[in-house]
Amino acid sequence: MNYLYLGDCLNVLQDYVKDESVDLVYIDPPFNSKRNYNVFFHDKEIQVQRLAFEDTWSLKNVNDSMQQLDTLQNEHLYHLLRAYQDIAPQVFPYLVMMTLRILELHRVLKPTGSFYLHCDPTASHYLKTGCDAVFGVRNFRNEITWKRTPFNGSSKSRAKQLPRNHDVILFYSKREDNIWNPPSTSYSEEYLKRFKWHDERGYYRKTLLKTYSQETFERLKEAGRLIEPTKKGARYSYKQYLEDSKGITLVDDIWSDINMINPVAKERLGYPTQKPKTLLERIIQASSNEGDLVLDAFCGCGTTVDVAEGLRRRWLGIDISPFAISLIKHRLQGTYQGDLARFEIRGIPTDENSAVKLWEQNAFAFQDWWIMEFGAFSTMFGKKGADKGIDGIAVYAISKADKLNAAFQVKGGQKVQSKDIDALLGAMVKHKCELGVFLTRAEPTRPMLETIAKQGYHKVGNHHYPKLQILTLQEFFAGQQLKLPKENVTFKSAEVIGKGGEQAELKV
Ligand SMILES: C[S@@+](CC[C@H](N)C(=O)[O-])C[C@H]1O[C@@H](n2cnc3c(N)ncnc32)[C@H](O)[C@@H]1O
């Protein structure tokens, strides 16, 4: 069984993940960029921006972590963090937040396990000192430089400085006998160009014969592979044939052969900071084997779990955002369909009671969760809630060229009234949505049902979709379905908008 957890990874790790149970941890947490990462929904008629996650850390928003700081058992780490409080106060709250989680991740790693921390030069140097304190300096394996793009980054990233174009991936193991399958790659075009000579046996390059035995010399001569020096006193070379090489070279710690996801990439989902699958393939193949357990505690739109699933690893993903968790669910179901290994989502409502509880704790999270259950883009987030009458939007493809829009409205309170339906109808007209969905915890009144019935159907070919539909929380958990077109493409038509080499924002 694989698991997706909605929640703060510190709590999830502490409450649910056993000591020494995980083979590989990869995390790509917020980088302390002090900005918000937004997702944009841009249609001809509807333009909505919502927050995906925040990356600003202050003593206030890491209050929970601060309270745990004084109970730290690792003295070295404690003193390190307290020193940063004085010398780097701007990064101190972020470092406390991160190192407490790294400590937990170290706890859950098996002795043969590996840990990869994806970050960038904003805080990689601080984070490395924290990782050294947690894992021990001797277990530091590599600092991987990932060159994100062959281009020169955004104009901002190169103003009066060299273009900023790389991320840092810190690689640690728990002990020396970590699982290790050395990654290799096919020869690059550039390398192949060196094999520019040709004879009856094939392409070869000229390689200098540096130190050699008489026996080697004779063997090369006999085989016709020895190349006489052209100048007096120069050394011999020999013909190194392409066909004798394995066609692969070992990957080193500079990764420039994997590009960040481009605007038209098929795998692009519209989640800011989404990492390319090839990056995770390399890491997961290098540091785990089939059947091993891979954990991503800041899993975003689920690149790690998607790749782990494809490579037949078991997986566990954690993210604090209901938006991210829903995206992952749809991503996995879309990619693997019937072949998807069983997985369970924890931390989201599983019945009416837990849904109501979520409403009582956090009405915005409730709305976010329910809308996303339908693969709709939730336009709602925190106090910056969008338009009245519309909390979410979904787009359906009905032919290659034609799409239908559905407006979603959620009500979690104990009462609903006719004016709520009127607001939804108004939003449908305003945003040119052919369909409307009213999701409610409370039972609708008779006049509401009459208004809904009066709207009739929207016809597409042989299909008839009710223009307005209503679903109660009770019906939802009883498995009642809405009548909506099958092909939901809400998150498929994402497009990058700007920010070049930095973690890009995307529009859906
Ligand atoms: C840079 S994104 C990860 C992107 C991911 N690698 C991908 O390819 O989609 C960081 C994620 O960390 C999540 N996050 C932030 N704080 C968290 C916490 N305390 N626990 C779990 N997830 C958290 C955010 O919601 C966001 O989705």
For 185-215, how does the pLDDT look when each residue is reduced to its tens digit (9 = 90+)? 888 777 888 899 999 999 999 999 888 899 9
Report the distance separating Cα 171 and Cα 58, nearest Å: 27
Report the distance separating Cα 454 and Cα 425, nearest Å: 12
CB 46 within 8 A of CB 393: yes
Report the distance separating Cα 243 and Cα 268, nearest Å: 37
Q: What is the pLDDT of residue 56?
A: 81
Using pLDDT thresholds of 50, 70 and 90, give the confidence band for residue 269: confident
Q: How far is CA 52 from the centre of its chain?
A: 12
Q: What is the pLDDT of residue 153?
A: 66
Q: Cβ(169) to ligand 1 under 6 A?
A: no
What letters, b where the CB count within 10 A reaches 16 and e where it falls short, cover 281-293?
bbbbebbbeeebb
User: Coil, strand or helix: which one is 281?
Assistant: helix
Report, as an integer, the average pLDDT of 303-327.
93
Q: What is the pLDDT of residue 506?
A: 35
Is the pLDDT higher at 352 or at 431?
A: 352
CB 41 within 8 A of CB 323: no
Torsional sign, CA 452, 454, 455, 459: positive
Percentage of the chain beyond pLDDT 90 is 58
261's CB contacts (< 8 A; 6+ apart) are: 267, 268, 274, 275, 276
Report, as an integer, the average pLDDT of 466-473.
97
31's CB contacts (< 8 A; 6+ apart) are: 55, 119, 120, 122, 123, 503
Q: Cβ(275) to ligand 1 under 6 A?
A: yes
Using pLDDT thresholds of 50, 70 and 90, give the confidence band for residue 70: confident
Which residue puts its alpha carbon closest to atom 2 of ligand 1? 300
Q: What is the pLDDT of residue 385?
A: 47
Amino acid identity for residue 171 in this structure: F
Is the pLDDT higher at 217 or at 401?
A: 217
Query: Can you state the percent helix, strand and coil of the chain, rounding each to 5?
Result: 35, 25, 40
Report the distance separating Cα 398 and Cα 404, nearest Å: 7
Report the distance separating Cα 391 and Cα 386, nearest Å: 7
- Residue to mutate, 319, 326, 332, 372, ligand 1, most ligand atoms under 8 Å from C-beta: 319
- In the predicted structure, residue 366 carries a pLDDT above the cut 50: yes
Which residue puts its alpha carbon closest to atom 5 of ligand 1? 300
Question: Does the predicted TM-score (pTM) go above 0.75?
Answer: yes
Q: How far is CA 70 from the centre of its chain?
A: 32
Whole-number Cα distances in Å, 103 to 51, 134, 205, 319: 28, 6, 50, 18
Looking at domain 352-496, which CATH architecture does it have? 3-Layer(aba) Sandwich (3.40)
19's CB contacts (< 8 A; 6+ apart) are: 107, 108
Q: Cβ(303) to ligand 1 under 6 A?
A: yes
Is the pLDDT higher at 262 or at 417?
A: 417
Using pLDDT thresholds of 50, 70 and 90, give the confidence band for residue 82: very high
- In the predicted structure, residue 499 carries a pLDDT above the cut 80: no
Report, as an integer, the average pLDDT of 284-290.
98
What is the phi-psi region of residue 337: left when phi exceeds 0, alpha when psi lies from -120 to 50, beta otherwise?
Answer: left
CB 298 within 8 A of CB 28: yes
Report, as an integer, the average pLDDT of 83-90.
93
Report the distance separating Cα 401 and Cα 405, nearest Å: 13
Query: Structure tokens of 285?
Result: 């193949």
Closest C-alpha among 438, 461, 464, 434 to residue 451: 438
CATH 3.40.1350.10 domain locations along the chain = 352-496
Which residue puts its alpha carbon closest to atom 4 of ligand 1? 300
Q: What is the pLDDT of residue 492?
A: 63
Q: Cβ(273) to ligand 1 under 6 A?
A: yes
Is the pLDDT higher at 492 or at 333?
A: 333
- In the predicted structure, residue 508 carries a pLDDT above the cut 50: no
Report, as an integer, the average pLDDT of 7-17.
94
User: Coil, strand or helix: which one is 465?
Assistant: strand
Q: Cβ(324) to ligand 1 under 6 A?
A: yes
Amino acid identity for residue 332 in this structure: L
CB 355 within 8 A of CB 441: yes
Report the distance separating Cα 491 and Cα 14, nearest Å: 33
- In the predicted structure, residue 389 carries a pLDDT above the cut 80: no
Is the pLDDT higher at 318 or at 390?
A: 318
Is the pLDDT higher at 148 or at 64?
A: 148
Q: What is the pLDDT of residue 502?
A: 39
Q: What is the pLDDT of residue 387?
A: 56
Q: Cβ(366) to ligand 1 under 6 A?
A: no
pLDDT tens digits, one per residue of 453-462? 999 999 998 8
What letters, b where the CB count within 10 A reaches 16 and e where it falls short, cover 334-344?
eeeeeeeeebe
Report the distance separating Cα 322 and Cα 79, nearest Å: 35
- In the predicted structure, residue 442 carries a pLDDT above the cut 70: yes
Bridge pairing between strands 392-397 and 403-411: antiparallel
CA of 297 to the centre of ligand 1 (A): 7
CB 439 within 8 A of CB 480: no
CA of 197 to the centre of ligand 1 (A): 51
Is the pLDDT higher at 132 or at 155?
A: 132
Q: What is the pLDDT of residue 404?
A: 92
Q: What is the pLDDT of residue 504?
A: 37
Report the distance separating Cα 302 and Cα 378, nearest Å: 18
CA of 273 to the centre of ligand 1 (A): 9
Q: Cβ(65) to ligand 1 under 6 A?
A: no
State the residue for tokens 């790790």. Answer: 13
pLDDT tens digits, one per residue of 98-143? 999 999 999 999 999 999 999 999 999 999 999 999 999 999 999 9
Which CATH number is 2-183+251-348's, of 3.40.120.10, 3.40.50.300, 3.40.50.150, 3.40.50.1390? 3.40.50.150
Is the pLDDT higher at 237 or at 327?
A: 237
Using pLDDT thresholds of 50, 70 and 90, give the confidence band for residue 271: confident
- Residue to mutate, 32, 116, 299, ligand 1, most ligand atoms under 8 Å from C-beta: 299
Q: What is the pLDDT of residue 78?
A: 94
- In the predicted structure, residue 326 carries a pLDDT above the cut 80: yes
| Mean residue pLDDT across the chain | 88
Which residue puts its alpha carbon closest to atom 7 of ligand 1? 274
CATH 3.40.50.150 domain locations along the chain = 2-183+251-348
Which residue puts its alpha carbon closest to atom 12 of ligand 1? 298
Atom of ligand 1 nearest to the CA of 8: 20
Most confident of 124-138, 142-156, 360-374: 124-138
CB 390 within 8 A of CB 407: yes
Report the distance separating Cα 343 and Cα 92, nearest Å: 37
Q: What is the pLDDT of residue 500?
A: 30
Using pLDDT thresholds of 50, 70 and 90, give the confidence band for residue 39: confident
CA of 357 to the centre of ligand 1 (A): 24
- Residue to mutate, 315, 320, 506, ligand 1, most ligand atoms under 8 Å from C-beta: 320
CA of 305 to the centre of ligand 1 (A): 13
Query: Which helix or strand (DSSP H or E) is residue 27 part of?
Result: strand 22-27
Report, as an integer, the average pLDDT of 413-428.
93
Whole-number Cα distances in Å, 385 to 41, 354, 370: 14, 23, 15
Query: Structure tokens of 74?
Result: 């690792």
- In the predicted structure, residue 178 carries a pLDDT above the cut 70: yes
